[in-house]
Amino acid sequence: MNTLNTDIFPKIKAVFFDVDGTLISFKTNKIPESTQESIQKLREKGIKVIVATGRSINSLDHIKHITFDGYITFNGGYCITTDGNIMFKQTIDSSDIQKLVDYSQNFPLSFSLMYEDKVEINDATPEVVGMYADVNLPVPPILDKENVDIENVLQANIFLGPDKEKSFMENVMPNSTSSRWTPLFADVNPGGISKQNGIENFCRHFGIDVSETMSFGDGGNDISMLKFTKIGVAMGNANENVKEIADFVTEEVDNHGIELALVHFGIL
């Protein structure tokens, strides 16, 4: 755990939260009461509270009972305000999606394609079904391989191991970027897009400097965000590579990790 002199930090005006493993417990599939109370206290103090997730905007119903100030979804590829104003939208290069579809016709590979209004998968293997159960989401419908919309994909999930990821991306989806928070699959987004881009968009929108921001995360797709904000906090349940780059490592989500970190830095 890193130690920081909290006196050197300016007043925090915005806090960005990953969802799975950060706001939501993998054990209970719920947001701990201490986290809900912390978010309410932040907003009462005038601090913006923004979701930053790899999920789509349509797979966040389980946190919509909490009031947020905006949503960074698809790992930064789709940013939207609470009143429905789309601030930023970037789709994956269509040639990469076509190569992905073609590749799967010749080699065994499970993948999902995520759009603004839907998610489709190419097959429902036990591995795929288990992943959706882990994140408390229904298994999406099977895509029509003869009629794939390659123009409007905001994010893909590719089910292959970390050892094969680099070669796959270089040869099949060279115009895209990948990140992962689980060994099961990698998130694939447009090249150059990350949660950092989403933070930049919301900082401009609210007139906040990045030196006045803080973020919480636990997975590889959170690294750009934790490194970019002034204070990057890794959850106690985070991957080791996430903990290594964080400014501070707090307790696990189930052990009041968010509340403890906010108190540690004098924000609550």
Domains of the chain: 11-89+193-264 (3.40.50.1000), 94-190 (3.30.1240.10)
pLDDT band of residue 9 (cuts 50, 70, 90) is low
Residues 45 and 77: beta-carbon distance below 8 Å: no
Q: Which helix (H) or strand (E) holds 52?
A: strand 48-52
pLDDT tens-digit map of 94-150: 999 999 999 999 998 999 999 999 999 998 888 788 878 777 778 888 999 889 999
Closest Cα partner for 195 from 63, 70, 93? 70
pLDDT tens-digit map of 54-104: 998 888 988 989 999 999 999 999 999 998 899 999 999 999 999 999 999
Closest Cα partner for 72 from 224, 175, 263, 211? 224
Q: Which helix (H) or strand (E) holds 16?
A: strand 14-17
| Mean pLDDT confidence for 247-251 | 97
pLDDT of 161 over the 50 cut:
yes
| Mean pLDDT confidence for 159-185 | 92
Q: What counts of helices (H) and strands (E) characterise the chain?
A: 8, 13
Name the burial class of residue 214, with classes exposed (0-12), middle (13-18) and buried (19+) by CB atoms within 10 angstroms of its CB: buried
Place of tokens 């930090």: 9
Q: Average pLDDT, whole number, for the chain?
A: 92
Phi and psi at 26, nearest 5°, equal -70, -20
